[in-house]
Every structure is written in C-alpha cells, then in structure tokens.
Chain A
Amino acid sequence: MAGRAAERIRRAIAMVNSVADEAGDEEITPTEIAEAIRDCLELGEVDDVPNVRRYLGEALDAVSDGMPADFVAMTLYAALGALREGSR
C-alpha cells in the first residue's frame, strides 16, 4: 500500500524542512537526505502511481546538485501529492 511510501517521503521532507527551518538542534547532511530519498525509491509502490518516481528522482538530483532546501522540499511535496492523488 502507498502508506509506507508516504511515510518515507514525509520523513525525507521533515529532514529537508529541518535544514530549511534551522531548528538549531541537529546537523543533517545532504548525504542523509539523499539516503532518505533513496529509501523511498526502493519501494515498489512508488511505481504504482504515475510521476512519483520521477519527482523523487528529481529531488535526488536536486540534492546532489546542491539546490536550496526549499526546492528539494517542493519536489518531495510534489511526489507526496502525486502519491495521494493516485491513491484516491
């Protein structure tokens, strides 16, 4: 079910938001964010809904390209939105 994928995407978003919002109580590296996104891509259910894998791939590229955290977050939200739409 899409629940696991949504949970993992939310985890990745939370990590990115933590970088963007600067809670000041943790240090999250781009490698950790990339790892969280790869965890999402490992799930077969991301292929059940159109565009989810594509958005996750774009988010991963954005992390490796050093794009701003908000850009990565926006792409991950797009993946989450696509997943939600497709699960309806």
Chain B
Amino acid sequence: MKSSIGRGRTLDEAVDAALIELQESRRNVDVKILSETPEETVVEVAVIDQDAPSMGMATAPVNGKAEIARGLVEGLLKHMGVRAQVTVRAGTEPITLDISGRDLGGLIGWRGETLRALQSVTNVMVGKHLAEGERVIVDVERYRQRREHTVREIAMRAARQVKMTGDAITLDAMQPFERRAIHLALEGDPDVTSSSIGEEPERRVVVGPRKAADG
C-alpha cells in the first residue's frame, strides 16, 4: 500500500503535505497520526488500495460464498434497472461487495438509508449460504468506507480536544457502523474513552477523558 509521511503545524497541514507527495485526494486515503506536539504534527497517510484485484477477476482466489453474493446482488440491480458493476473486495473479512458505476447516489439514499436496505436484502438472500453470525457488507462507490474514514478523523479530532480541555465531547448522532468505527479508533488511546448515549436513531458517541480507574 502506497503511503507517505506528512509534517505540518496542524493536522490539516500535515495531511495536505502528504497528499501532495502522494498526488492523491483526501477521500482516497487513510490517515494515522504518528505524533502531535503544539509545534508539529506528523501523520502517515496511506492510499486506500482502490486497484486491489477483485475476486471476480481470474487472478484472485474464488470464494464461493462471496461469488454467490456477488451474483445475487448483480441480478437484483439488473431487476432494479441499475447499471452497475459488482465486485468482491479482496482480502476483507466479512465479505464486502463493492458496487460501482455512474450516478449511483440513488442507491446510497438519504444518510445511506437505501444502501443499508440493500445490504439487509442481500443478507436475507444470501443468508442460507452463510454460517451463523456471518454477514455480507455492501458498499456503493466506497460510501461506507469513506464515512468510516471521516468519522475516524472526527474521533481523532475530538480526542485531541478532550486531551487539551479535559472536557467530554458529545458527537452528532451516528449509525451503528459509524459509532463502531469511533470506538475502535479510540480503544487504544490511553487518555480518552468513548461511550454512547441516547436511543436509536439519535444515539451519539461521547468522547471523554479516561480516568485512572478506567484502566
């Protein structure tokens, strides 16, 4: 995976420096903060491997379940009159199907609602081929992946602010997969902790300082 180290006075400057080096746009990268002081922020910016060979290609190993899921979603989209390509994302667990094509905004829907519905239908269709607890993730134009990266950045920013002020921050209401991404992003941070409050669909993540007793 192509990556670059970026340095700058702020996080944005550091990321921009790395993006220039990589000649990539922000939506195609994953950002990891290596160090942060009031004077300098150092980040590692890695390009999301967009060109990874899909399992639909002859060179990749064929996963029977993934191929069944891919075929079913392709058929479903055909019935819906949507012209799009369905590929299996390589090396991912759980099985992830990528749908790509032109003007697929309608397939994502309001706050990803249509995409989520499509994923539910897919899992119902493929269910009998999957083991208990196994699921298929459906992504359209990497919407889900981009959202995960965005919320991870939000989490990092919130964590920095919490460390500076010592006050807890309540984030906007988010979907379960987004909240999960935040919890995972912060679980290794010794100084902050994350939890959720409220009821669906208004459930929000709270990022706060980790007390000594929290471990």
Contacts and interface: CB of A to CB of B under 8 A. Distances in A.
A25 B120 contact: no
Contacts of B124: 68, 70-71, 74
Interface string A10-21: 110111011011
Contacts of A1: none
A73 B180 CA distance: 19
Contact of B201 (A14, A26, A70, A74): A14
A65 interface: no
Interface in B167-183: 175-177, 179-180, 183
Contacts of B205: 25
Contacts of B135: 20, 70
B117 A21 contact: no
A18 B120 contact: no
A11 B180 contact: no
Contacts of A22: 176, 180
A17 B135 CA distance: 13
B116 interface: yes
Interface in A1-47: 10-11, 13-15, 17-18, 20-26, 28
A73 B201 contact: no
Interface string B177-215: 101100100000000000110011101010000000000
A70 B127 contact: yes
Contacts of B52: none
Contact of A77 (B117, B177, B195): B117
A15 to B, nearest CB: 5
Contacts of A28: 200
A17 B112 CA distance: 12
Nearest to B178: A23
Nearest to A73: B120
B121 A74 contact: yes
Contacts of B41: none
A77 B177 CA distance: 18
Given A21-B176, A23-B196, A68-B123, 7 more contacts: A13-B201, A14-B201, A17-B200, A20-B123, A26-B203, A77-B121, A81-B117
